[in-house]
Structure 1
Amino acid sequence: MEDGFKAIECKDGDVLDFGDNTYKIAKFKQAMYTSFNSTLEDTLNEELIGQGIEIQEPPNMNWFQNGIDCEILTLGSQSWKKGKVKIRISIEFYVEEKDVEITNSKNSEIIEPESSLDDLRRMIHD
């Protein structure tokens, strides 16, 4: 991604903070998927029709879960292939690179604490 951001992988147990509200990634993803399957899907269908793309499917189309039956003709292929088209939306978190650089420079300055074994070694050598 441009603008000095770097994508990092998020796990279901990670937490997002939106000011006064915090959510685990798993809960956030579930809420997004639920939204995709209701109002967003209806809005998508309306927008596609507005753009001249009409899909001949029952009203309960499922772009995000099961996919929509269709066929594809790829370049170089001699025939159509049956399948489904499915829309996947990912949730990504982008760290500002400035923060990453600051963190890395701080980490490089961290000095490891002495081990208790170091004291024993000094006593043996003395």
Structure 2
Amino acid sequence: MEDGFKQIECNDGDVLNFGDNIYKVAKFKQAMDTSSKYTLECTLSQELSRQGVNIKASTNVNWFHKGIDCEILTLGSPIWKKGKVKIKISVEFYAEEEDLQITNSNNSEITEPESPLDDLRRMINE
């Protein structure tokens, strides 16, 4: 993402606040997964067809879960490989600013978090 935002990893137990609504990440991802089963798959198939990409698939299109059967011919390969095309939507969180650690509140010194490898570096340097 642009504008100096930094992506951070989210765990299922983390909480998202959308103004007056607060949800655990797990519930948000599950709701996204459920909604993608029907609405997004139908809309995607219709839009692909409108753009001239006609994929012969069953009426029970499964872009997001099982995938759609297809074949691929990669550069340099003499044969087609059978497989599936599956669309994956990810939920990402981008922080507007980085967390800063204050080690000494008296002089407000800001330091980087200590790396677990610092002990090994000290031992090597001794």
**TM-score class normalised by the smaller sequence:** 0.7 to 0.9
Q: Flag the structure with larger Rg.
A: 1
- Residue 2 (structure 1) shift: 1.5
Point out the structure with the larger helix share: 1
User: 5+ unaligned residues in a row in structure 2: which ranges?
Assistant: 107-126
> In structure 1, the residue corresponding to 2:6 is in which secondary structure?
strand
* TM superposition score normalised by structure 1: 0.80
Counterpart in the other structure of 1:107: 102
For 1:43 and 1:79, the matched residues in 2 are separated by 33
For 2:94 and 2:34, the matched residues in 1 are separated by 23
Counterpart mapping for 1:87-126 below 5 A: 87-96=87-96, 99-100=97-98, 103-104=99-100, 107-110=102-105
* TM superposition score normalised by structure 2: 0.80
Work out the number of aligned pairs and report it: 106
RMSD (CA atoms):
1.3
Counterpart mapping for 1:1-126 below 5 A: 1-96=1-96, 99-100=97-98, 103-104=99-100, 107-110=102-105
- Residue 56 (structure 1) shift: 0.6
For 2:45 and 2:54, the matched residues in 1 are separated by 8
Percent of aligned positions that are identical: 64
- Residue 108 (structure 1) shift: 4.4
1:29 is aligned with what amino acid?
A: K
Q: Using CA pairs below 8 Å that are at least 6 residues apart, which structure has the higher relative contact order?
A: 1
